Structure 1
């Protein structure tokens, strides 16, 4: 069995730690908050994030150097805004190259870098090709309760992808592999924007028709941008694409849906973030995707509408009206573009 450090003791980091512990691995769960580490070790609970008992074999640390000492793999599960800082610290204390996995979902505004690209820039010991991403439809609350879940791991280094698959796979946590790092990362990041939109739609009191349309057309936007950056369009029809999109847009477990729901009910963004008390990755990713769409000259009307709600104080009802009254077009145009990108 392996010795693994999970960096980030939020809900997702805690849930992944449970999967690893169930598989018999020696798990170290790192948090930058000393009081959180002490509470986990003394009570075997992480009550702010998951209402579930944590296996006693999981040991929490607030000292990063101690947490990674002697490990053969690191799983990075910190918010995207903390990726660069944590990786820069790791680069100074890691003595040898080990398997590096990330399960964070987002895009960095301004630089428009994906998480794996940020990691590679901050860590001299790691080439982009060696980093593994874990993504897919996976609420931490359900993973922590050992409910059936299926995810995808992706790396250009096939050996590292298979090492990661072996670390995590068990009877309730199924793991597939994929070589499409770009598609897997973008699917996991961009679906949070559409989940905000789904929450806004529900908050406005709209029904299933509106949500189904939003999810479907949102998937078209995700695929349109992703394929322009080199992703395989078929990835967006799999677990990291439509799978993650469905689970994030339709469940009260989704913090992005919950944030959108509050926005749809008339709350301002600052009020929503205060009420959430946790990172809402879709907000930061919306800003990045809005910039990305302009740079790539890709049409993303839903993303742009949500951007206006978040950052320009547009009224959600007005944005929906604008989307419904856009110029007439042929739906199959999007499919034709995706197929031409794939088979050109």
Structure 2
């Protein structure tokens, strides 16, 4: 397993993981299997792999892919668990999928896995479900064999773009859920925010990737993941604390997440930039409102006024 090397309490994180069988910084208290070895050279880790599993903050993907180019098996396949969007290019303005970035960069087929999977609960082996989205059914079934267990149930769908975009866009909606709780609103308001956010998600996916199967929204990657993230995910928690503390979002994020990032505010910014470039901001008031509050442009107390 490739690990980005960093120092934690005066020691290299990779050394701590291999010695204690635990990622003490990002998943403390959860023991790792003995066959998982932390390696800091991404090429050495990946060069003989038949399956590459991508799990990292999406803003670091490009650099990693550049390192892997020409250094992996041509027969390898990839699967992305990254919940975010790739940076769009000026000549190709739109919501660019992480899986497409991997496929284009490395020349290999790339599936995605998304679902209602809060990390701590998965590590505790609590029952949950996930969705694999793929364009290649054979690869999808092979990947299902790798991931599926009695307590981690996998369903495969041939609607990869919808699966991946649900995983990215739901983090924006979770920010709204955090605002709602932080401002002291009740369950009715929370339900309304989730519904309005879901409708923006569906509209956005249908606009940028026509042909989405509505059934996919009822897979684990869709409404289930949205609900879980709005109830207890890091984006909900960070945005709730942000509203309550009246401090800069980056400061709250750093304090609560121990160096990790909440992808919702960043994804909201990326989506806003695309919508603005395409003159579509009026069509997506919910997404725009989330960005304006997260960026500090609009006070959180005005959030509901922006989405009414």
Asked if these proteins are the same fold (TM beyond 0.5), I'd say yes
Written as runs of structure 1 = structure 2, the 5 A alignment for 1:199-238 is: 199-228=178-207, 229-230=209-210, 231-238=212-219
Provide the C-alpha distance between the structure 1 equivalents of 2:77 and 2:105, rounded to a whole number of angstroms. 16
Written as runs of structure 1 = structure 2, the 5 A alignment for 1:1-344 is: 29-33=1-5, 35-50=12-27, 51-111=29-89, 112-123=95-106, 125-126=107-108, 130-228=109-207, 229-230=209-210, 231-251=212-232, 254-265=233-244, 266-275=246-255, 276=257, 277-294=259-276, 295=278, 297=280, 299-324=283-308
Deviating 4+ runs (over 4 angstroms): none
- Does the C-alpha gap of structure 1 residues 202 and 302 become closer, same or farther in structure 2, counting only changes over 3 Å? same
Return the TM-score normalized by structure 1. Answer: 0.80
Return the TM-score normalized by structure 2. Answer: 0.89
Q: What is the CA distance between 1:52 and its match in structure 2?
A: 0.9
- Does the C-alpha gap of structure 1 residues 232 and 297 become closer, same or farther in structure 2, counting only changes over 3 Å? farther
Provide the C-alpha distance between the structure 2 equivalents of 1:47 and 1:297, rounded to a whole number of angstroms. 43
Per-residue CA deviations over 1:126-166 (Å, capped at 9, x if unaligned) read 2xxx2110101101100100000100101111111111101
User: 3-state DSSP class of the match of 1:31?
Assistant: coil
Per-residue CA deviations over 1:144-197 (Å, capped at 9, x if unaligned) read 000001001011111111111010101111000011111001100000000011
Provide the C-alpha distance between the structure 2 equivalents of 1:281 and 1:57, rounded to a whole number of angstroms. 30
Q: What is the CA distance between 1:312 and its match in structure 2?
A: 4.3
Per-residue CA deviations over 1:226-266 (Å, capped at 9, x if unaligned) read 11222223322322110110000001xx1111111122212
Provide the C-alpha distance between the structure 1 equivalents of 2:134 and 2:47, rounded to a whole number of angstroms. 24
User: 3-state DSSP class of the match of 2:52?
Assistant: strand
Segment of structure 1 superposing worse, 306-315 or 291-300: 291-300
Provide the C-alpha distance between the structure 1 equivalents of 2:248 and 2:87, rounded to a whole number of angstroms. 21
Aligned 8 A contact 1:219 1:236 in 2: no
User: 3-state DSSP class of the match of 1:134?
Assistant: strand
Provide the C-alpha distance between the structure 1 equivalents of 2:86 and 2:50, rounded to a whole number of angstroms. 28
Per-residue CA deviations over 1:46-68 (Å, capped at 9, x if unaligned) read 12211211111211111112212
RMSD of equivalent CA atoms: 1.6
Which sections of structure 1, spanning at least 5 residues, go unmatched?
Answer: 1-28, 325-344
Which sections of structure 2, spanning at least 5 residues, go unmatched?
Answer: 7-11, 90-94
Provide the C-alpha distance between the structure 2 equivalents of 1:102 and 1:110, rounded to a whole number of angstroms. 18
Provide the C-alpha distance between the structure 2 equivalents of 1:96 and 1:110, rounded to a whole number of angstroms. 27
Aligned 8 A contact 1:110 1:291 in 2: no
Segment of structure 1 superposing worse, 202-211 or 60-69: 60-69
